[in-house]
A and B are shown apart, each in its own frame.
Chain A
Amino acid sequence: MKMDNAADIRAADIRLAGVGKTFGQGEHAVRAIGDATLDMQRGDFISLLGPSGCGKTTLLRIIAGLERPSEGEIVVRGHPVWEGGKRSAEATRPVSMMFQEARLFPWFTVAENVALPLRLRGVRKAEREARAHALCETVGLKGFERMRPSSLSGGMRQRASLARALITEPQVLLLDEPFGALDAMTRDTLNMELMSVCAQAQVTTILVTHSITEAAFLSDRVVVLAARPARITEVIEMPFERPRTLDLQRNPEFQDMLVRLRASLTGGH
């Protein structure tokens, strides 16, 4: 890593420059993302908000290096994600992704699923078990560690999946609708937990959500996307001070922001 001048220290943690993605060719081509340009500093929390099918998952997958962009460039922590046609290990190692589906493996118990990233990195069994159990408690899965994923509810699976994404203490966290299957109460609790984890460890986070409130509450900036043509319509700052508490949601300024976001979302069609 070169960190030898002031400009580099302020260098973006994640930089998207003119990123676009088209699936298929000719008349079957689907434009999923168009001309996405975005800079994120270390510790930034942004949300992607947009209608179904506007390319949110695709954008996350491009940043994670799971999908190659058709055009443009992505740089994560100073390393281009794609180098000479190959996925760069340096750019993708600090990144953790929580997928839209929980993607737990039925042959592992809940704790083993959560500990899988550590196991793949060669962490000793005793240590990874201890860390997995601690994280299970954090996300509210205490007592379910030894169960199979198939005996968990949808929301519990999502929480296990979140724990798996957090266990490596990632520097970049990509979350694809993490709390879709949760009740409002649990959702609030986990959002607070997520916010404190991300703030403490200065995690650069991108969250995909359909909830305008969640986006406004958690984020430094909300990126509003639109489909047909696929594009970023607006990037809106959330000027609320941190640390934030749930009381913020009753604040009139916050309410105004929700109205503004809703207008931006519907205007994008």
Chain B
Amino acid sequence: MRTDRFLRIALPTATVAAFLLAWTAYVHTAEVSAFILPTPLQIVSAFIGLVSDAEIWRHALVTVIEAVSGFLIAVVLGITLGMAMARIQMLEWAFKPFIVCLQLIPKIALAPLFILWFGFGLESKIVIAAALSFFPVFSNALVAFRSVEPGDRDVFTMLQANPVQRFTMLDLPTALPVVLAGMEVAVVMSMIGAIVGEFIGGNEGLGYLAVAMLQELQVPGLFAVIVLLTLIGLTLYTLIAQLRGWLTPWHASVAGRSQDA
């Protein structure tokens, strides 16, 4: 057990260190231009420069607000619609064509359209983020609320449970693990949506900053922005994963994780 724990830390440390060393060695030996691929050290110093500038946090805040707002809209809409369609078969029949079409459209391709409709401000990015993160929540909610077993329903029927009790003590806890898994995917998608929106139009946000860096050929700075975006994405994802552990501690995915730790 103890060697296991040691290896779990030592192995990833070793591979990451080897990767960074190889990267540095490659840049030096192959004499790659710093405009194309900076060394990890150059990126780190650019990153430190970046985060010590107050301006960066304004951009970061914009991106986070866009992504989180879009995500929350997607969660509310996705869960409500998924639940409604799981309950009312007719709703699904009625809206199936729209859902299939919307699912097939590469949502990213809609981004320019949303900019056209909602302008260059925050709103269009929020809409893009929401559009991208809606489906993971919606389709998981639809499956989740359908997956209550008839045998479990029978128990509640025998106990004369009222509809509210059924919902809070049976449907909701059955669906939660799957819905939260959808939300984990969705939160990543919402970051992508916000960044793509900023690429296309606007003058603030980390996506905008990345494009600006590229135009000024500040490649280490570009990498630093990517690192920052990754850290923000990781934070959001971890928050949802924490929420999952907190809301569904009984579920195998959570139980398994805490055993590993």
Contacts and interface: CB of A to CB of B under 8 A. Distances in A.
Interface of A: 61, 64, 66, 87, 89, 92-93, 95-97, 99, 101, 103, 105-107, 116-117, 119-121, 148, 150
Contacts of B151: 99, 101, 103
A192 B94 CA distance: 57
Interface stretch (B135-143, B158-166, B216-224): B158-166
Nearest to A149: B250
Contacts of B152: 103, 105
B159 A120 contact: yes
A203 to B, nearest CB: 16
6 contacts: A87-B157, A99-B155, A106-B251, A120-B165, A120-B169, A150-B250
A96 B165 CA distance: 18
B80 interface: no
7 pairs of A and B residues whose beta carbons are closest in the complex:
A107-B173, A106-B250, A120-B159, A117-B159, A120-B161, A97-B158, A107-B250
Contact of B248 (A87, A95, A107, A116): A107
Contacts of A101: 151
B4 interface: no
Contacts of B255: 150
B159 A99 contact: no
Contacts of B165: 120
A92 B252 CA distance: 35
Contacts of A61: 154
A66 B250 contact: no
A116 B250 contact: no
A224 to B, nearest CB: 26
Contact of A99 (B154, B250, B251): B154
A64 B151 CA distance: 13
Nearest to B153: A66
Contacts of B160: 89, 92-93, 120-121
Interface in B215-261: 248, 250-252, 255
Contact of A116 (B157, B159, B173, B252): B159
A148 B250 contact: yes
B251 A103 contact: no
A176 B251 CA distance: 28
Contact of A96 (B158, B169, B170, B252): B158
Contacts of A107: 173, 248, 250
Contact of B173 (A64, A105, A120, A150): A105
A103 B248 contact: no
A64 B248 contact: no
A92 B157 CA distance: 10
A97 B248 CA distance: 28
B61 to A, nearest CB: 37
A66 B157 contact: yes
B242 to A, nearest CB: 18
Contacts of B159: 116-117, 120
Contacts of A106: 250-251
